[in-house]
């Protein structure tokens, strides 16, 4: 039985672990071929998981995959990433801008170097990848998914430089969706903390307050399964996607600790008046 993404080609940045890996496996199970991009090819004791590990897992599911070592801060590498994807598979159906850098702190305490890193890996890289991908996505109708939040002014304190870079991604998605007739773009963000190497290192929450990366992967899959010519921009929360598009109301399957009740992040507590950008 064919999957919902049968023989489509999905390019994922930040695909060596965490949410990127989970998205790759979810798409592969639905029949997609994967272009996997990230910096990590060699094993690193501090950051488990490499592109080659994920590539092997995708291939074990019977799908084709390529690993493209890419530092998304550099325009020429991002352009080459898209070109290699299309050269290998002959098409591109979806881009998931998942690569990200996270750091919190007050405006007064941020250095220019840290600001440039976060902006470069988040909004600038998403812009570069989307710009390179759009001409190919137009050909059969495609998707761009930004891992970025709805606007929530109440969440700015202590996170403003980081959120500036992430909300910029959401604005890019809105622009792409309105500018491109055959390309659908949207944003996706978790309601609760998701357990990844970055969130663990940041000490965001204990396991009982986290969900697995599969919650975002399953939501991403539902977004990609939509008809790109009919879907409209929205800054989604993962719970909204699963409830409205998949009919999932019990999210306990995603809890890192079975039976726990993870609390929503302040970033996700969006005032209804700010639901859409």
For residues 72 and 49, give the distance between their C-alpha atoms in angstroms, rounded to a whole number. Answer: 18
For residue 43, CA distances in Å to 48, 79, 99 come to: 7, 25, 18
Q: Which residue has the higher pLDDT, 162 or 1?
A: 162
Alpha-carbon gap, residue 243 to 186, rounded angstroms = 17
Residue 27 clears pLDDT 50, i.e. is over it: yes
- pLDDT at position 6, please? 98
**Does 92 score more than 90 pLDDT?**
yes
- Mean pLDDT rounded to a whole number for the chain: 92
d(CA 68, CA 65): 10
CA-closest candidate to residue 139, choices 76, 17, 66, 229: 229
**pLDDT given at position 271:** 46
pTM across the whole model = 0.94
Cα-based distances in Å from 219 to 14, 83, 89, 191: 17, 27, 25, 12
Phi, psi (deg, nearest 5) at residue 105: 155, 165
Q: What pLDDT does residue 245 have?
A: 97
User: Is pLDDT at 276 greater than 70 in this prediction?
Assistant: no
Domain extents in the chain: 9-274
- What is the DSSP code (8-state) at residue 109? G
> Which candidate in 5, 63, 95, 162 is catalytic?
162
Angstrom distance (rounded) from CA 276 to CA 266: 17
| Pick from 36-50, 55-69, 138-152: least confident | 36-50
What confidence score (pLDDT) does residue 48 get?
A: 80
Tokens 């591109």 — which residue?
92
Length of the chain: 277
Question: For 17, which DSSP code?
Answer: S
pLDDT (0 to 100) of residue 104:
86
Give the CB-side neighbour count of residue 157, counting CA atoms within 13 A: 2
Query: pLDDT at residue 2 above 60?
Result: yes
Q: Cα 138 vs. chain centroid, distance in angstroms?
A: 20
Q: Return the pLDDT at 275.
A: 41
> 9-274 maps to which CATH number?
3.40.50.720
d(CA 183, CA 139): 9
Residue 121 has pLDDT above 80, yes or no: yes
* Long-range CB contacts for residues 48-53, cutoff 8 Å, separation at least 24: 48/17, 48/197, 49/16, 49/17, 49/18, 49/21, 49/197, 50/16, 51/15, 51/16, 53/16
**Is 162 known to be catalytic?**
yes
- Classified as helix, coil or strand, 230 is coil
Residue 47 has a pLDDT of 77
d(CA 272, CA 164): 20
């Amino acid at each position: 039985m064919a999957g919902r993404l049968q023989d489509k080609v999905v390019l994922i940045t930040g695909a060596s672990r965490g949410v990127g890996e989970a998205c790759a496996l979810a798409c592969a199970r639905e029949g997609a071929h994967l272009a996997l991009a990230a910096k990590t090819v060699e094993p690193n004791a501090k950051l488990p998981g490499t592109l080659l590990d994920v590539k092997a897992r995708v291939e074990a599911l019977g799908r084709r995959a390529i690993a493209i070592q890419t530092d998304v801060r550099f325009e020429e590498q991002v352009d080459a990433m898209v070109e290699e994807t299309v050269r290998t598979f002959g098409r591109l159906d979806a881009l998931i801008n998942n690569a990200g850098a996270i750091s919190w702190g007050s405006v007064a305490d941020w250095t220019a170097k840290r600001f440039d890193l976060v902006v470069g890996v988040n909004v600038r890289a998403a812009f570069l990848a989307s710009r390179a991908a759009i001409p190919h996505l137009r050909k059969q109708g495609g998707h761009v998914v930004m891992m970025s939040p709805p606007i929530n002014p109440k969440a700015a304190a202590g996170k403003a430089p980081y959120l500036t870079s992430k909300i910029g991604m959401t604005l890019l998605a809105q622009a792409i969706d309105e500018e491109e007739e055959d390309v659908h773009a949207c944003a996706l963000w978790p309601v609760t903390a998701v357990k990844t190497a970055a969130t663990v290192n940041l000490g965001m929450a204990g396991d009982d307050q986290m969900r697995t990366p599969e919650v975002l992967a399953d939501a991403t899959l539902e977004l990609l399964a939509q008809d790109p010519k009919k879907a409209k921009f929205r800054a989604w929360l993962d719970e909204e996607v699963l409830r409205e598009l998949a009919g999932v109301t019990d999210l306990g399957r995603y809890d890192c600790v079975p039976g726990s009740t993870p609390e929503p992040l302040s970033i996700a507590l969006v005032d209804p008046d700010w639901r859409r950008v």
